[in-house]
Amino acid sequence: MTDPTIHHWTASDGVDLAWREMGAGAPVILLHGLFSDAIVNWIKFGHAAKIAATGKRVIMPDLRAHGLSGKPHDPANYPPGILGRDLIEFIAHLSLSDYDLGGFSLGARTTVQGIGKNLTPGRAILGGMGLEGLTGWAHRSQFFLDAIAVFDIARRGDPHWLAIQFMKTMKVDPLAATALLHSFEPAPAGWQAKFIMPTLILCGADDHDNGSAPGLAEALPAAMYVEVPGTHMSSVTEPTFGDTLAAFLA
């Protein structure tokens, strides 16, 4: 399997956004989690390679304010629902009409934003996500805003410590991250009814960060829940995570 290739495109507000892809065949778009990027969630632990090996073109954007994508500081570049808007524009940019779509954590939320605003993938994946993470995001968002507020002064033992260390490892831009967090909005009204496609709810056994994953599966018309080992941070490192994705998408 060849290494992923890197590409760039320009969103409607002029921000440069990047994506990686590997493989050839039917397209699959995978969206990473908050403060992560395509490498950490999809490439580093072999998930994208497993999916590509089944005959798929795996397309992995770096979301706005993440990875290789632009990180503007102007709040005007972060209107409500901007990641969903970027996703819709990106799919149009690639001229895709027949594709699968999914994400982990923030990527799952962005998937819900897109489908709630009438994207129609053949299959959907919501990883690291529970029902409460989609219906009550404000509390979770505030946790990360509080973490950024103590970004350089928090010490080991602070409840924000691990999140801050991950942000520092990922070289997160605190100003861009703050603007992005303020752009998050509730899932679109009636979003559950839009999930008429087969949907995989994939979550770590000890991942309760975004509420109940089984509850999310029960709330959707055509969803199945699969549990893998791990917490919110560790589940994406598990080989079974990629195995389950590849099997669902094959």
Q: For 150-179, give the DSSP string.
A: TTTT--TTSTTHHHHHHHHHTT--HHHHHH
Q: How far apart are CA 90 and CA 56, in angstroms?
A: 18
Structure tokens at 224: 């199945």
Residue 179 · residue 99 · CB < 8 Å: no
Which residues are 199's β-sheet partners? Answer: 124, 223
Phi, psi angle pair for 30, to nearest 5°: -120, 130
CB 101 within 8 A of CB 114: yes
Q: How far apart are CA 31 and CA 66, in angstroms?
A: 11
Q: Among 87, 76, 106, which residue's Cα sits nearest to residue 172?
A: 106
Report how far residue 96's alpha carbon sits from residue 128's, in angstroms, rounded to the nearest whole number: 26
The reported pLDDT for the residue numbered 140 is 81
- State residue 14's pLDDT score: 98
- Euclidean distance between CA atoms 176 and 35, whole angstroms: 11
- Tell me if residue 200 falls in helix, strand or coil: strand
Sheet holding 124-127, edge to edge: 5-10, 16-22, 56-62, 26-31, 100-104, 124-127, 199-204, 223-228
d(C-alpha 4, C-alpha 52), whole Å:
10
127 near 203, Cβ under 8 Å?
yes
pLDDT in tens, 195-204: 999 999 999 9
Say what the pLDDT of residue 1 is: 59
Using an 8 Å Cβ cutoff, are 89 and 215 in contact?
Answer: no
Place of tokens 């897109």: 114
Q: Is 139 left (phi over 0), alpha (psi -120 to 50) or beta?
A: alpha
The domains of the chain, with CATH numbers, are: 5-137+184-249 (3.40.50.1820)
pLDDT, averaged per 10 consecutive residues of the chain (250 residues), comes to 90 98 98 97 98 98 98 97 98 97 97 96 98 84 92 90 93 96 91 97 96 96 98 96 97
In this structure, the number of other CB atoms found within 10 A of the CB of residue 175 comes to: 15
DSSP string, 85-118: HHHHHHHHHTT-SS-EEEEETHHHHHHHHHHHTT
* pLDDT tens-digit readout, 9-54: 999 999 999 999 999 999 999 999 999 999 999 999 999 999 999 9
Does the pTM of the predicted model rise above 0.85? yes
